[in-house]
Structure 1
Amino acid sequence: MGCSSCSTGKDGQPGGCKNNGTCGTDGCNKLTVFDWLSNMSLPSGEKPFDFVEVRFKNSRKDFYKNTEGLTLSIGDIVATQAQSGHDIGMVTLTGELVRVQMKKKKAPFSGEEVCKVYRKASQKDIDIWQKCRDREEEIKKRAREIAIVLKLQMKISDVEFQGDGSKATFYYTAEERVDFRQLIKDMAKAFGIRIEMRQIGYRQEAQRLGGVGSCGRELCCSTWLTDFRSVSTSAARYQQLSLNPQKLAGQCGKLKCCLNYELDTYLDALKGFPGQDTKLYTEKGLAYCQKTDIFKGLLWFTYKDEPSNWHVLSKDQVKEVLEKNKKKEKVASLEEYAADNIIEEKVVFENVVGQDSLTRFDQPKRKNNKNRNRNKKRRNNKNRKPKNA
């Protein structure tokens, strides 16, 4: 959902707020928490919760204590405590929902780890912050060139400046451990700022950069997904998906997070279901399982000597045959069981929209009798003999 700033600009091109997901109206932010308590007043005698949620570039968020008792609302630009200097961020959540989010993410409510909000950002703070944000793309390009010259096996994916412009954090991805000491020296000399290198995974990189998945929607990790659970190829096997890495991989190059969404449903359906390696012993021969449909409760078997002929059996029928096989009894054939599962589906076409025929607007071609009569007269005139002959 876009904000009012994401309107159409000149020549039909999208305008946009050009803040890369940090718009002031909080309408198109990543991982935004809906404040459903905003229209409710606190009970008498209750003080508002003194923590606020502040978000920085992309999806990085943190919780800060409002020690000064400032009147803050969603969308306010504030100066917050940092390791050295101060940082500039935007308030994305206030009130009791901040307490819920802190409990969910196990953030500390007290201690040395708790940072605080200094003040509301002045116009000078915002100008310095915006100036630093404008330098990020140029510095990222230059940092990549330095890394290539040093032949480092790493990819610098994003750069984030601190609000006061004294430090820049470089996010990078790498397969193995990288010795970037010389890289830090060269970048500090070239940019004149303090450098911090932070390695992130490929999923975190996709979360920060965003994008559109193969489903046509925005990436789950950059919109609503807050944690990354491990995804294995067994999730695709349980759901009977083809193990094609090009289709199972997401924008990050790893297995798609959505493979876990319906996995529990498939695991529940597989309880008490015969396995894929089930073998049935019949008098006609040994039969192997070729295909299963766990939701319809059907299995397809073929004889060892007749792999082209498939016989469909229900889950209960397979269990019945297995029970007989355990007693060292063989059934006559699978055809006896498969004959009970043959259902002839009759295709019924219904006139849903009340139309009589799809060709009701087509008019039949009419024969041109006028041209026929004209040609007939011409032939008769040619056949007539002249009177003076």
Structure 2
Amino acid sequence: MIEVIGIRFQQVGQIYYYAPEKEMYALNDKVIVALQDIRCIGTVVTPVQQMDRQDLPHEVKTIIRRANSQDLAQEATNAEDAIGALQIAKGKVRDRRLPMKLINAAYTLERNKLIFSFTAEGRIDFRELVKDLANVFHTRIELRQIGVRDEAKLLGGIGPCGRKLCCATFLGDFIPVSIKMAKDQGLSLNPTKISGLCGRLMCCLKYENEEYEQAKKEMPDRGKEVETPDGKGRVVGLDLLSRVVKVRLHDRQTAVEYGYEELVTK
């Protein structure tokens, strides 16, 4: 077991674990750490905790130090300059007529690298673009191709539910979502109804999926013959979350609703 602290480099993103050494850190403290051999400012998002080494990367780095006012001022300057850098880079992409969409730009703390994130349909040969950008910004340039879900996470927005996107507000990592989840929940399979702004299946399909799976195990299938307090009938509808079964009795035209515990399946 080893003592570690969880740190994020984005407001919502992956948590990286570092050893605090003997220093005490509180939630939301800003700290300087090394990420892929580059110094970055991160935010403490979990208190000191014991974790098994098997659940951590091979090498657990230590926190370098607490960020000071000068570091924070540099971070703010970098963020402001990155906005202008992104606009310039977009112009270079248009000049080169490259089929790519620049999403974000970010300077490392010490400005020894400028990182651009982009989306594209396939692989892009951006070697000449990198040369153009290096000549303008006089620092190392890195272009990272990201997916459409990552794009939504970076840009944010309002989902079909009217709330801010889950991925941009609290989801640290993307969760696997399948069309089977939508089927199990009785949702329309129209892509416009079950897709988020990214064009992929909505992450929230996962939230209640476990409850639907459990309900399906407990409740009878559609078309199943059942015994009700009012006689025999056939299941014609299900409300899985409420555990309510709609049954058409053999001697009635109108379906009747029952709690699943009232039924006996054949």
Q: Answer yes or no: same fold by TM over 0.5.
A: yes
Which residue does the alignment assign to 2:262?
Answer: none
Question: In the alignment, does 2:171 pair up with 1:222?
Answer: no
The partner residue of 1:250 within 175, 193, 196 is: 196
Correspondences of 1:1-389 after superposition (within 5 Å):
50-60=3-13, 61-67=15-21, 69-96=22-49, 99=50, 106-108=55-57, 111=59, 114-271=60-217, 272-274=220-222, 292-295=236-239, 296-298=244-246, 313=248, 337-339=250-252, 341=254
The structure in which a higher percent of residues are strand is 2
Change (3 A) 1:66 1:273: same
Cα contact 1:269–1:294 (8 A) shared by 2: no
CA distance in 1, matches of 2:142, 2:122: 18
Cα contact 1:58–1:208 (8 A) shared by 2: no
Please give the per-residue CA displacement for 1:224-281, whole angstroms capped at 9, x wherever unaligned.
Answer: 3333333333333333322322222112111111223333444444454146xx9xxx
CA distance in 2, matches of 1:210, 1:235: 24
SS in 2 for 1:218: coil
Relative contact order (alpha carbons < 8 A, sep ≥ 6): 1 or 2 greater? 2
Change (3 A) 1:227 1:57: closer
Change (3 A) 1:124 1:228: closer
Q: 1:181: Cα distance to partner?
A: 1.5
Change (3 A) 1:231 1:78: closer
CA distance in 2, matches of 1:170, 1:128: 19
Change (3 A) 1:339 1:94: closer
Change (3 A) 1:141 1:58: farther
Bigger radius of gyration, 1 or 2? 1
Q: 1:93: Cα distance to partner?
A: 2.6
Q: What amino acid does structure 2 have at the position aligned with 1:246?
A: T
CA distance in 2, matches of 1:204, 1:264: 25
Cα contact 2:222–2:236 (8 A) shared by 1: no
SS in 1 for 2:63: strand
Q: What amino acid does structure 2 have at the position aligned with 1:339?
A: R
Q: Which ranges of structure 1 fall in alignment gaps of 5 or more residues?
A: 1-48, 279-288, 300-312, 315-336, 344-389
Number of corresponding residues: 239
Change (3 A) 1:154 1:217: same
Identity of aligned residues (%): 33
CA distance in 1, matches of 2:251, 2:212: 25
Q: Which ranges of structure 2 fall in alignment gaps of 5 or more residues?
A: 225-233, 257-266
